Structure 1
Amino acid sequence: MLSKEKDCIVVIGCGRLGSTIAELLSEERKNIIVIDKNKDNFINLPNNFSGFTIEGDATEIDTLLKVEISKAKILLVITDDDNTNLMIAQMGKKIYKIPQVIARVYDAKRESIYKNLGIDIISPTRLFTEKFKKITV
């Protein structure tokens, strides 16, 4: 499914955040694949979305092999579950050797786990807290 070059971006999760990021990447004409367990979530993507969508469970190796995940240059894991995100991010980093893996993490106490595994993180909790401190100080 992916091109022969390592230039694809794979997004796991097509909720509000995943679909917004996919839309941004599509507008930038990036080679993108969005995977979600629920095909109904693809309705969040704009009509002019230029990437591919795959209905499947990204915790299952068959789903990842179907999209030739090892050819991805970036993996964004942004489901609404920290455990799922950690598992898929670890697989992407350790098994499939994806150069850049970014995962969403809600529980700020888990940030060090991701960082120790070489996984970049985005924490809505941390972002809100930092913004709150700037506003109230």
Structure 2
Amino acid sequence: MYILIIGCGRTGSYLANLLSKEEENVVVIDKDATSFEELSAEFTGFTVEGDATEIEVLKDAKLAKADSVVVTTDDDNVNAMIAQIASELYQVPKVLVRVLDSQKEVIYKELDVITMTPTSLLVDKFKDEIVRSV
């Protein structure tokens, strides 16, 4: 599988390291080359320094070949733009997006993408634990 991760912060680097360890083909894009320091010494994938909202950067990362794209930048508007490019222009089979502001989740309703909102996931988990302990 060819997986493209956009954003190499805590979430993106953790996922990239995990997938690399499982011997998946992983490419990580980030605007800041120092972000790649978060990747482990065992990381076997590739890195692309650049702005993923630019088509040339996405072409360099071979977006057209991707089986999955995971967008984890800290900017919901950037994430929405990249998700739309991956889903609609490149027809990537699976696009997953981190949405920081749960109110912005509505932006993705028309797109064929999977959204993950950390706050909602955490609240759901807390609620499940509370209900289970009663």
TM-score range normalised by the length of the shorter chain:
over 0.9
Counterpart CA distance in 1 for 2:128 and 2:65 is 40
Counterpart CA distance in 2 for 1:115 and 1:104 is 14
Counterpart CA distance in 1 for 2:3 and 2:126 is 31
| Contact 1:115-1:121 at 8 Å conserved across structures | no
Equivalent runs, 1:1-137 vs 2, <5 Å: 7-137=1-131
Where do 5+ consecutive residues of structure 2 fail to align?
none
Counterpart CA distance in 2 for 1:52 and 1:24 is 14
Shift of residue 48 of structure 1? 0.9
Aligned-partner SS, 2:53:
coil
Shift of residue 104 of structure 1? 0.2
2:12 maps to a residue whose letter is G
Counterpart CA distance in 2 for 1:113 and 1:26 is 31
Where do 5+ consecutive residues of structure 1 fail to align?
1-6
Q: Which runs of 4+ in 1 moved over 3 A?
A: none
Alignment TM-score, normalising by the size of structure 2: 0.93
- Identity among equivalent positions (%) equals 48
2:82 maps to a residue whose letter is I
Deviations 1:6-57 (A, max 9, x none): x310000000000000000000000010000000000000001000011010
Superposition RMSD on alpha carbons, in Å?
1.1
Counterpart CA distance in 1 for 2:92 and 2:128 is 35
Counterpart CA distance in 2 for 1:115 and 1:32 is 27
